[in-house]
Structures are given as structure tokens and as C-alpha cells.
Structure 1
Amino acid sequence: MGSTAEGVHPPPLTAELNPPAAGKAVFEVRLTNFSGPFDLLLGLISKRELDITEIALAEVTDEFISHIRRMQAEHGSWALDEASEFLVIAATLLDLKAARLLPRGEVEDDEDIALLEARDLLFARLLQYRAFKEISRQLAERFEVEGERYPRDTPLEPAFTALLPELIWTTTAQDLAALAAAALQPREAVPEGVRVDHLHGSVVTIREQAGLLEAHLRNAGSLSFGELTADAAETLVVVVRFLALLEMFRDGAVSFDQDEPLGELRIRWTGGDEPFAIESVGADYGPDYGADGGSESVGPGTVDSTLQ
């Protein structure tokens, strides 16, 4: 890490870079090997033109204390921010000097290694200090320039406060009449209930299913209920075929056989060779049952009411 620190070359710092503010005393140090502003001393140290090991930090501290006392004697007070700033910089210089005084080839413990690794960080802190000093100088200049600007507090003249924008009216009497007619037009009456005549479910008729069952039973003679409903596409068809079988059983067209309780139900055709009167199926379901388009069309709701 020491070699990395040796390669740091910050831009040179001159006395003109940070000129003193008007009326503010500049802290200057007078040492054996240096005499001048403190900022210039930091610049020389940061760009390696002056070795930190050759600077007596104790004398620098004494010079700063004397500077503070002179300010207090002349102005009756001293700047706390300047004192805090000096303490930070002095601590950085002290750490940097300690790192420089360590023997480079005789590092034995982790603490010495950490101190050497912090050398680059110390130089970075010096550069950061210089950057903040430059920014503060530029801000001070901006504040000084902008401080000469004053807002205009004069209110608007009374002659202009009463002025209103010109009103451009483009609506005609016919437009107003049309708007009034649209607003007064009665609305469409709200329906009392929800219409469901547009909904179409699967239409399954008992008579149609009775005809299919008759054809299957005439050909096979006897079939189980599972065989009669094997081709049913949905549960509704199974229910309607069961209702059709009950109608056909009542008319004597089929008979039910079951060999054991809860066993398989078999349906046998007993209607003979005569055509089955399909028109009689469902005659007792209601006065309108069997009419054209009437209640013989069975949907989900019809099946529920029929089973009840």
C-alpha cells in the first residue's frame, strides 16, 4: 500500500487558489523549513514537495493557538468552525507522519500493516479537505454576487388589477336549446326485473329421449341403465332418460329387473311390436306440456322442478 501512496500526485496548490475572504485573518505558520499560509503547507505536503516527517506538528499547533489568541484579542471572539477544521487536519497530518516514520521493511504486527494501508486514505482526506475549501470559496463568491440582487416588491398597478381576459362566446341560442332538450328528454324506463330470455341452455326433451330408448330396447331386447346412458354427453341427458323410462314403465312399454338389492338395474322391452305412443309421454306434467315449444323442453331448472 505504501507504493500506491507514493504514486499519488494531486494538482499543485498555490497561495492564489484559496484567497482569503475580505476581513478574515489568514492562519500562517512560521517554521524552520517553511513560512507561509497553512493551506499552502498542506498543498506542498499533498504533492510531496515537502516531507511530512520534516514538519514539527507541535510547532504548527502552537502557531495555531497563537493565531486563535490574536483573533480573540483583535475581534473579541474566534471562529469555532476554523478551530474544528484545524483539529481534523492536524489529526490527519499526525497519522500521516506516524505512517511515514514506520520502517518500511520491518512491519511485524497487524496494527503497523493497517497503519501503512491507511496512508492512501490519509492523502485522500487531504484532497477532500482541499476540495471542500475550493467549493466553499466558490459558494462564498456566489453568495456575494447574488447578495446584490433584490426581489421586486412593488405590487401590480391598480389599473391592471381590474383587467379581465376577453370573453369569447361561441355558443348560439340553437346550441343552448339542443342542450336543454337533451337534458329534459325522459330517460328509458328501468326494467322491473332481469330478463333471461336471451340465455339459451341445452334443450333436452323427454319425448326425444323416449324415442331413442325405444329404438335401443327394440333392437337389444334388454339393456342395463348404464348401457342406455353410455352415450350421454352430460348429466342432464341421463336425468331426462331416467324420466323417460319412468313414463314408459307407467305405460307398460318397459319392465325393470333387478336380481339383488342395489344390484344392476336392467330394462326389458315389453311393448310388443306395436309402435309406442310417444305423444302420451309427459301428459300428466301440466296442462301446457307437449305443446309446441312448451314445457317438454327440459333444462336444468325444469329438471329440478320435475323431480320435486
Structure 2
Amino acid sequence: MRARYGATVTSLPLAAPVPTTADQPPAPGQRLGGRAFEVHLDNFEGPFDLLLGLIAKHKMDVTEVALSRVTDEFIAYIRQSGAAWDLAAATEFLVVAATLLDLKAARLLPSAAVEDEEDLALLEARDLLFARLLQYRAYKLAAAHLGGLEGSQARRFARSAALEPRFAEVLPDVLLGIGLEQFTVLAVRALTPRTPPVVGVEHLHVARVSVREHAATLRSRLSSTGAASFRSLISDCTSTLEVVARFLALLELYREGAVTFDQMVPLGDLRVRWTGQGVAGDGPYDTDSDDEEQLT
């Protein structure tokens, strides 16, 4: 049976040849010198793309295709094209022809049961070759589609024009809320280096409180009054540290026996009485002593 191009086909091929026009350039490898490559075999006559489509859809067995005649016709086709032949088209034909040759060699091998790993690898290689042929067809169709888009958009140009004066007059003036001087102030503020933050210690109490001085104050007051409450003795203190220093001085006077304590009820008011004993000028809080004890 001889298949002629243009004759009735029982089923559609994988993809029909993409028609070309003056505005739509052909895909690479589809035409050389302005005409498509056709093959003339005993069982097929027509475009090479149609032959690939029939093989891909199993409408024609690759073993029935004389690849040597196809190669000879393609070489003659390139020679007739002269200087207009395309290197990319020739390269694509070589890839497809090599794939068909490997596929045909795999089909001619015996199809008996797989006995060893080499036969299994050969069958897998045959399937890979067929998949490569399908992949080639997919890329070819995609390239033709992209080429058609490029051709259809080649004559389209964006129009760049300024705004017409009658429309420009309608636009309102641009009004800014600040002027040049305000922009200058903002720029100076943004470009001025920031002062590194400093942790202040002014709120910390660094004064040194002398327990000796508070002991002398207590001796002076109690010796003249004889007795007083602890609340009245610390009424002139300006800080908690001074209250602590005066309390320590009072404990030292009690240890020396210079004062006694009276407290009528628990947590009640503490009464301090002056006894004047043990104060001979040689105590630890003698004003003439050079030993200073201070609180910080």
C-alpha cells in the first residue's frame, strides 16, 4: 500500500504541518529555500513531518521506512537549496534520522521473552528512543507556535507621544505642603549623625555618710534633753542612708552604755534615754579619733 500526500487518511497524524505565510515564518527545519522537504518512498510520499507523525501514532512501522533513501533525498534537497540551506534545519534532521535509525534497529531485534539484563536494557533503550521522537515533535510544534507569535507581533509598535496641550492645561498644579527651606531642614536632620545614647547616673546617691558625725549629733542632743523618741532623733534626716547611719550610731552608743531604750508596747514608739556612762573620749566614735567609718 502506498500512502500519497493529499490522499484520504483513516486517522489524523500526531500533528499536521504548520502552514506558513508571509507574516508567519516557518519553524526551523520545516522549509529550506522556500519549499518543504518531502520524501518519496515505495509506501509513502509526502512531507517529512507527516511521516514522523504517522510513525509516532503507530500508523506506519519504522521498519518499513527506507531510512537510507530518506537520507539521500535530504542531502539532495540541501544541495538544491544552494546558499539558502539552514544549518539548524540540517542539524534537526540528523537528530531525528539518528533516532529513527536506532528505533528501527531496536524493532528488528527478536521480540522473544527477556532472558538477561542486556535484552531488558535494549527494550528500555527502544522506549527511550520513541520518547525522544515524541519530544522532538513537541518542541517543533512549540517552536512553530512561538515563531507565529513573533511574526504576528513584528509589525506592532508602541505609540509614544506626549500629552496634548489641551489636556495638559486641564491638569491641576502640583502643590506641596512644604517649601525649599523645610526640605533643607529635613535633609540636615536626616544627615546629621545621631548622638549615641548615654546612661545617666545623676539619680544614683553617691554621697558618703559618716556614722561618727551622726554619733556626735546624738550625744549632743541627748546630753542636753536627757531623753527623746527615735522618731524625733531622725526628723532632720533627708535620706534613707542618713536614717541608717543615725540608727547605727545609736546602737554603738547603746553598746557603750551611753544610752538605754524603752518601748512600752511591741512596735510602739522607741524612747532613748541618755545615761552618760562609758563616754570617756576613747570610744570608737570619739570625735578626736582619726578612725573614720562612713556609709556609701
TM range (shorter): 0.5 to 0.7
Aligned match of 1:13:
14
What amino acid maps onto 1:32 in structure 2? D
1:62-107 CA distances to partner (integer Å, 9 max, x unpaired)?
11112112222xxx42111110110000011111111111212276
Counterpart check, 1:279 vs 2:285: yes
Counterpart check, 1:65 vs 2:70: no
Q: What CA distance in whole angstroms lies between the structure 2 residues aligned with 1:165 and 1:66?
A: 72
1:103-155 CA distances to partner (integer Å, 9 max, x unpaired)?
12276775554332122221221111111111122112212211121233555
Q: What CA distance in whole angstroms lies between the structure 2 residues aligned with 1:205 and 1:47?
A: 110
Q: What CA distance in whole angstroms lies between the structure 2 residues aligned with 1:282 and 1:131?
A: 112
Aligned match of 2:43:
33
Deviation (angstroms), 1:29: 0.7
Question: 1:118 aligns to what SS in structure 2?
Answer: helix
Q: What CA distance in whole angstroms lies between the structure 2 residues aligned with 1:45 and 1:204?
A: 109
- Aligned partner (choices 184, 196, 200) of residue 201 of structure 2: 196
Indicate if the aligned counterparts of 2:106 and 2:126 stay in contact, CA closer than 8 A.
yes
Q: What CA distance in whole angstroms lies between the structure 2 residues aligned with 1:65 and 1:54?
A: 21
What amino acid maps onto 2:47 in structure 1? P
Aligned match of 1:55:
65
Distance 1:171 1:68, change over 3 A: closer
Distance 1:282 1:166, change over 3 A: farther
What amino acid maps onto 1:148 in structure 2? R
Deviation (angstroms), 1:196: 3.1
Deviation (angstroms), 1:200: 5.5
Aligned match of 2:93:
86
Distance 1:109 1:158, change over 3 A: same
Q: What CA distance in whole angstroms lies between the structure 2 residues aligned with 1:77 and 1:171?
A: 68
Q: What CA distance in whole angstroms lies between the structure 1 residues aligned with 2:159 and 2:70?
A: 50
Aligned match of 2:104:
97
What amino acid maps onto 2:48 in structure 1? F
What amino acid maps onto 1:45 in structure 2? I
1:179-217 CA distances to partner (integer Å, 9 max, x unpaired)?
9xxx9xxxxxx9xx986342369x99988xxxxxxxxxx
Q: What CA distance in whole angstroms lies between the structure 1 residues aligned with 2:111 and 2:199?
A: 95
Distance 1:279 1:54, change over 3 A: same
82-91 vs 99-108, which deviates more?
99-108
TM norm structure 2: 0.52
Calculate the aligned-residue CA RMSD, in Å: 4.3
What amino acid maps onto 1:47 in structure 2? K
- Aligned partner (choices 132, 154, 179) of residue 147 of structure 1: 154
Indicate if the aligned counterparts of 2:13 and 2:50 stay in contact, CA closer than 8 A.
no
Indicate if the aligned counterparts of 1:13 and 1:43 stay in contact, CA closer than 8 A.
yes
The runs of 5 or more residues in structure 2 that have no matched partner are 1-11, 23-32, 190-194, 213-276
Distance 1:200 1:53, change over 3 A: farther
Q: What CA distance in whole angstroms lies between the structure 2 residues aligned with 1:24 and 1:18?
A: 14
The runs of 5 or more residues in structure 1 that have no matched partner are 1-10, 184-189, 208-273, 290-295, 299-308
What amino acid maps onto 1:95 in structure 2? D
TM norm structure 1: 0.51
Question: 1:95 aligns to what SS in structure 2?
Answer: helix
| Aligned sequence identity (%) | 51
Indicate if the aligned counterparts of 1:204 and 1:297 stay in contact, CA closer than 8 A.
yes
Question: How many aligned residue pairs are there?
Answer: 194
Higher relative contact order (CA 8 A, sep 6+): 2
